């Protein structure tokens, strides 16, 4: 980033729990962006999972108010297919316009969050960042997606098998839930500690 135009913002990076955050010093109206990435190895996360992670980051930062678009929109980030979720947020009485942009390449998922109080400044940098400042490069040539690991669960009467992604569901004693239950699975929302559990009981 050109030193005279950009300032690294460690506080903003920490508040988003991201890899990097920068503020632009060139315009009278502020603009910042946050970039985060996660290595999924040989797997590709679902679009819904990437979107959920991005929304969680926005909710944690814009504690004074957050409005999200009804759904994410497809677009191209450079030469990569991507999604963008427009938002409006407020922090300490300052209202921000922004986008949470999501894209993926060779096992690594990226979240680029951009924001400004000024719509024209935001639109300018939405085109400027992928053109001049943020590029996705990889050393994983020949990368191919592998299916996510799964595990199977059998009902107590052996009349039903269920296969799900590994590590999401735990089996329990079905009779503890209901005398007529033959398969009990408990799932936990992994982004939230010690709460939000879902149970499935099949008879």
Whether residues 102 and 167 share a domain: the answer is no
| pLDDT(199) > 80 | no
In a domain, 93, yes or no: yes
Band (189; pLDDT cuts 50, 70, 90): low
Band (173; pLDDT cuts 50, 70, 90): confident
Predicted pLDDT of residue 137: 86
In a domain, 140, yes or no: no
Structure tokens at 158: 């052996």
Q: CA dist 188 to 17, 29, 170, 194, 198, Å?
A: 22, 42, 9, 9, 6
Whether residues 82 and 125 share a domain: the answer is yes
Q: Give the tens place of pLDDT for each residue, 102-116.
A: 999 999 999 999 999
Whether residues 80 and 161 share a domain: the answer is no
Whether residues 171 and 125 share a domain: the answer is no
Q: Give the tens place of pLDDT for each residue, 117-154.
A: 999 999 999 999 988 889 998 888 888 888 878 888 88
- CA Rg value for the chain: 21
100 or 145: whose pLDDT is higher?
100
Rounded Cα–Cα distance for residues 31 and 7 (Å)? 11
Whether residues 29 and 91 share a domain: the answer is yes
pTM, whole model, 2 decimals? Answer: 0.78
Predicted pLDDT of residue 90: 94
Q: Give the tens place of pLDDT for each residue, 18-68.
A: 999 999 988 788 999 999 999 999 889 999 999 999 999 999 999 989 999
């Amino acid at each position: 980033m050109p030193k005279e135009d950009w300032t690294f913002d460690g506080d903003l990076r920490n508040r988003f729990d991201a890899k990097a955050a920068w503020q632009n010093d060139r315009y009278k109206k502020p603009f910042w962006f946050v970039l985060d990435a996660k290595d999924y190895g040989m797997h590709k996360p679902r679009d819904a999972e990437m979107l959920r992670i991005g929304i969680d980051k926005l909710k944690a930062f814009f504690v004074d108010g957050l409005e999200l678009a009804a759904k994410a929109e497809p677009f191209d980030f450079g030469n990569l297919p991507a999604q963008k979720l427009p938002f409006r947020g407020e922090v300490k009485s300052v209202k921000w316009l922004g986008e949470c942009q999501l894209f993926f390449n060779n096992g690594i998922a990226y979240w680029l969050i951009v924001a400004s109080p000024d719509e024209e400044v935001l639109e300018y940098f939405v085109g400027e960042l992928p053109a001049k400042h943020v590029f996705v490069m990889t050393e994983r040539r020949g990368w191919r997606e592998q299916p996510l690991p799964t595990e199977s669960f059998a009902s107590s009467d052996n009349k039903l098998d269920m296969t799900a992604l590994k590590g999401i569901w735990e089996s329990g004693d079905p009779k503890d839930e209901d005398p007529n239950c033959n398969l009990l699975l408990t799932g936990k929302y992994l982004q939230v500690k010690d709460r939000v559990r879902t149970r499935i009981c099949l008879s």
